[in-house]
């Protein structure tokens, strides 16, 4: 083998230096690319953790809201009862005002006869409702009949506990879907009880 002359050696050295420089540049590009990938991966991981924390918080809030549902139901039921009691108090106040201004002994006698007739009318309405309970399964019709009897007692007898009890039962019936045999039996027993208290 003949030794290379100086010009060829210099050319080969330049080529090798050029290759070495390009390799260094390529190595820097790879390092930068790797660092960018690691940075992006870190950011993505951080965002995923934030999302997981938010989902956990949403789950806890949902559980708390579900836990409040029974309390909200009680508040709504109590509101209905309070409205019924306020209606009863209004009726009592109106009756007492009218009676204190206009009542005489003869009016008391007429009133007693009138109350007796009204009580008989209410008893007849209760008996009709008992017959309907034995013949039909329409829950809404029964509720309407109870509403009618409740107002009749308000108008006829003034302050009485029966309208309040009827209001409570109507509130319970509004949460029912069907007029079951158990409900019919319960209402029949209550009707007998109410008739005896008139």
pLDDT at 151 over 50: yes
pLDDT at 118 over 80: yes
DSSP 52-102: HHHHHHHHHHHHHHHHHHHHHHHHHHHHHHHHHHHHHHHHHHHHHHHHHHH
Architecture label for domain 108-198: Up-down Bundle (1.20)
Cβ atoms of 91 and 164 within 8 Å: the answer is no
pLDDT in tens, 30-81: 888 887 888 887 888 887 888 887 887 777 777 877 777 777 777 776 777 7
Q: Across 14-23, 53-62, 86-95, 137-146, which has the greatest mean pLDDT?
A: 137-146
> Which secondary-structure segment (H or E) carries 154?
helix 139-157
Dist CA 195 CA 123 (whole Å): 6
User: In the chain, what are the domain boundaries?
Assistant: 108-198
* E strand map for the chain: none
| Tokens coding 8 | 């060829």
For 42, how many CA atoms within 13 A lie in the half-sphere containing its CB?
6
Computed on alpha carbons and rounded to an integer, the radius of gyration of the chain in Å comes to 44
| Tokens coding 79 | 């509101």
């Amino acid at each position: 083998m003949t030794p290379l002359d100086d010009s060829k050696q210099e050319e080969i050295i330049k080529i090798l230096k050029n290759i070495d420089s390009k390799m260094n540049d390529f190595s820097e590009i790879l390092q930068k690319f790797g660092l960018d990938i690691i940075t992006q991966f870190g950011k993505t991981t951080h965002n995923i953790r934030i999302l997981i924390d938010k989902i956990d918080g949403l789950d806890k809030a949902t559980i708390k809201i579900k836990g409040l549902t029974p309390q909200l139901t009680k508040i709504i039921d109590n509101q209905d009862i309070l409205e019924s009691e306020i209606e009863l108090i209004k009726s009592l106040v109106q009756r007492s005002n009218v009676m204190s201004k206009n009542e005489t002994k003869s009016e008391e006698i007429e009133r007693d006869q009138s109350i007796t007739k009204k009580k008989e009318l209410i008893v007849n309405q209760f008996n009709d409702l008992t017959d309907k309970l034995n013949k039909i399964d329409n829950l809404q019709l029964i509720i309407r009949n109870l509403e009618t009897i409740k107002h009749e007692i308000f108008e006829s007898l003034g302050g009485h506990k029966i309208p309040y009890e009827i209001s409570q039962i109507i509130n319970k019936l509004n949460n029912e879907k069907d007029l079951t045999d158990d409900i019919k039996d319960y209402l029949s027993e209550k009707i007998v009880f109410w008739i005896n208290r008139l």
